[in-house]
A and B are shown apart, each in its own frame.
Chain A
Amino acid sequence: MERSEGDVSAADLPSIIDLAPDEARRAQTESVTASGTKRNADKLLEVRGLKTQFFTADGVIQAVDDVSFDVGYGETLGLVGESGCGKSVTALSIARLVPDPPGRIVAGQIMFDGIDVLKLSNEAMRKLRGKEIGFIFQDPLTSLNPTLTIGYQITEGIREHMRLSTRAARDRVVELLAKVGIPRPADRLKDYPHQFSGGMRQRVMIAIALSCDPKLILADEPTTALDVTIQAQILELIQKLSDEFGTAVLMITHDLGIAAGMCDRVNVMYAGRIVETGTVDTMFESPQMPYAWGLLDSLPRIDDIRGAKLRTIEGLPPLLIAPPDACRFGPRCRYARDICREDEPELTARAGEGHLARCWATEPGGWIS
């Protein structure tokens, strides 16, 4: 992990780092939210200043710390980051499913389709969940109840939220199962989860998520437990169905490849914060945060020439109990300077449309800008 002679130090980099067109860069320096916009009619979900904390014996863990972003109607937004960065807690907060205690949403606003989610009664929240917001979790085996037939489990939500007759509900379930690609759906209603393979179980989960025509699907690492060919099937299915129904998707993943293939926009999270956000194209073409560079460079790629040593990100993410008032990636960043250790940068605009990053070095006027 030592640097060899061929390596280049931070000081050598500035001149070529700058992949952003010069004229577009002169613009704004003021801080904006990750959306770059104010409240807007075409936003399905608006998250503002979300703070979710866990009150543990060791101290208060600031799992999600002042996170703001939007999801448009029908849009697929990626939340990308490594374990513990707060991406799952962000999703759970939106659905108000953070386990309490020890967790609590301590600040922020979540507007879902014009509804202030954090002000809803538990009863109203329950109606929203499952009906307007569908969920797909990582492990379909633990998210399905092993003692109930899948027919029952899919019908449950439909009966709860849609007030259909038993017969109409059953017809709808058969239709849904056919839609997610389960062969002979009518025969399989009486089967239990263990009678399905992993990929088929995830299809059942998708059918449940879609059962009440939700406006938003929260997909938390939906394919991490699956084989690569099954993963491709499931991702394609999610993409196809969200297009067909106009459902927005919040896709939580650690896999940059999935983000590149599935998402319209991507938020990169690190240590409870959004550190970069932008459209997939700008994000992958001209990432503006050394953490994003680190992720991209540490990834073996199927289309890369072999033999190159992988870049690594040294060290570990900070503990979120008392994060310093400084760049949270600073201690691991090879481009860090004094200011990074003294003051935390805001999310500020970069060249591309809606492209924001939290980095002193790549800000206009910074030492890698």
Chain B
Amino acid sequence: MDQLTASAGAAPSIRPHDSKNIVEVDDLKVYFPIRAGIFKTVKGTVKAVDDVTFEVRRGETLGLVGESGCGKSTIGRAMIRLREPSGGTVRFDGIDLNTLKSGALRKMRRRMQIIFQDPYGSLDPRMTVGSIISEPIETHHLADGEAKKERVADLLRIVGLDPNYVKRYPHEFSGGQRQRIGVARALAVEPEFIVCDEPISALDVSIQAQVLNLLTDLRGRLGLTYLFVAHDLSVVKHISDRVAVMYLGKIVEVGPPDLVYSAPGHPYTRALLSAVPVPDPVAERKRRRVILQGDVPSPVNPPPGCRFHTRCWLYERLGKPENCRTIEPPLQVMTTDHRAACHWAGEALKTDVGIAHIDQQLVRRGTPEAALNLLKTGRATEVTEAELAAEAPAADTGAPL
């Protein structure tokens, strides 16, 4: 183990394993070589994931959010060793995945699974639903014969599909149903940890909610742990116990969503939040968008110091402090469990930049369900309370209120 960690080029000081964590990632690097010319010589390196350290706690959902190309999917894949890391370690239940030989790795893989984004591309169109779901059961010799059939039927039932569908092919299903098949396949080997890689991005709004509810439900029932990779901040907030925000191969902020979304310490998190549309015209009018200059810099040649400083509004506002350009900010503790990688996080906290339109006290949906919830939870604001008071007596049937 010592030898291998050394050969992986990891820092010598790997933190001790904590049994509360199911996955521990230390100084993870995933680089992709850029090859060019007739001899395909390496001309540069894309630093997709660069020195990232975090952990996934047993039983939690860790949301990993960021814009395209920030490295979030690559992290997800490296964590279950679908990608070879270029450096650093990933420990699953305390065991360094890099030290495992193929047989042991396969055994380990039974404990970790992945659900892909594209419900169309990730299922073999020539296989029946039954064989798609039973394949991992066979690979891991978990059951055969009648027991296997029984198990496949159970899995279909668990994800809300009719067990009689086993003989059907993927094209006979809608996008949401296919994603359920993908979930059933992942669950077939009874994993402990599932990487959900943008599992609902390709689905319609009403179907997204069904799959999100299914994932939440299954986590509770089966005691699963999720890494939930997504670009949609609203979805990530909804499903995650902790959220990690990525920018250009780095985690820039991590913490419980209630803190990250209401008191973000990193200027990039604030810029992201400021861009999220809210389905309420009143909130939308309050929105003050943070304008990020230009596009995301290339991960081949990331800016020195803080990677975000080239586009950072706070850097401009503070008169371009030198340390942003020269010193890479580490993740620093803001409050318990909430960390941000910004030299000037304290300054960011003094503003309401990016979060002015996010007001939990003023959520209005205008739907009957929302009105009831407001009443039930006592969250009704003055406006809605007044509205409800005015409207409630107009009832034509005596509803129990």
Contacts and interface: CB of A to CB of B under 8 A. Distances in A.
A13 B307 CA distance: 52
Nearest to B391: A18
A261 B401 contact: no
A256 B231 contact: no
A260 B160 CA distance: 33
A217 to B, nearest CB: 19
B238 A232 contact: no
A58 to B, nearest CB: 15
Interface stretch (A36-44, A311-319, A338-346): A311-319
A82 B204 contact: yes
A17 B388 CA distance: 9
A225 B287 CA distance: 22
B396 interface: yes
Contacts of B294: 183
B277 A260 contact: yes
Given A255-B277, A311-B369, A304 B284 contact: no
B387 interface: yes
A200 B295 contact: yes
B275 A281 contact: no
Contact of B213 (A1, A236, A258, A303): A1
A300 B235 contact: yes
Contacts of B371: 16-17, 19
Given A232-B289, A301-B234, A257 B399 contact: no
A15 interface: yes
B295 to A, nearest CB: 5
Contacts of A232: 274-275, 277, 289
Contacts of B174: 316
A310 B213 contact: yes
Contacts of B206: 82, 294-295, 298, 312-313
B369 A302 contact: no
B212 interface: yes
Contacts of A330: none
Contacts of B401: 15-16
B234 A300 contact: yes
Nearest to B358: A303
Interface size class, chain B: 35 or more
A284 interface: yes
A303 B360 contact: yes
A184 interface: no
Contacts of B239: 300
Contact of A299 (B279, B292, B391): B279
Contact of B366 (A257, A287, A300): A287
A302 B261 contact: yes
Contact of A303 (B278, B375, B396): B278
A313 B216 CA distance: 17
Nearest to A307: B238
A312 B284 contact: no
Contact of B233 (A228, A311, A312, A368): A228
Contacts of A138: none
Query: Which residue, of A19, A21, A295, A311, has the highest number of chain B Cβ atoms within 10 A?
Result: A19
A13 B258 contact: no
B147 interface: no
A298 B280 contact: no
A8 B370 CA distance: 11
B21 interface: no
Contacts of A259: 279
A102 B206 CA distance: 29
A229 B67 contact: yes
A256 B204 CA distance: 12
A306 B277 contact: no
Nearest to A235: B277
Given A1-B160, A297-B367, A302-B234, A15 B213 contact: no
B238 A287 contact: no
Interface of A: 1, 6, 8, 11-19, 21-22, 82-83, 183, 197, 199-200, 227-233, 236, 254-261, 280-281, 284-287, 292-306, 308-313, 316, 367-368
Given A15-B398, A18-B394, A299-B234, 15 more contacts: A14-B395, A15-B401, A16-B388, A16-B391, A17-B371, A228-B276, A229-B67, A280-B281, A300-B235, A303-B278, A303-B362, A306-B237, A306-B257, A309-B213, A310-B209
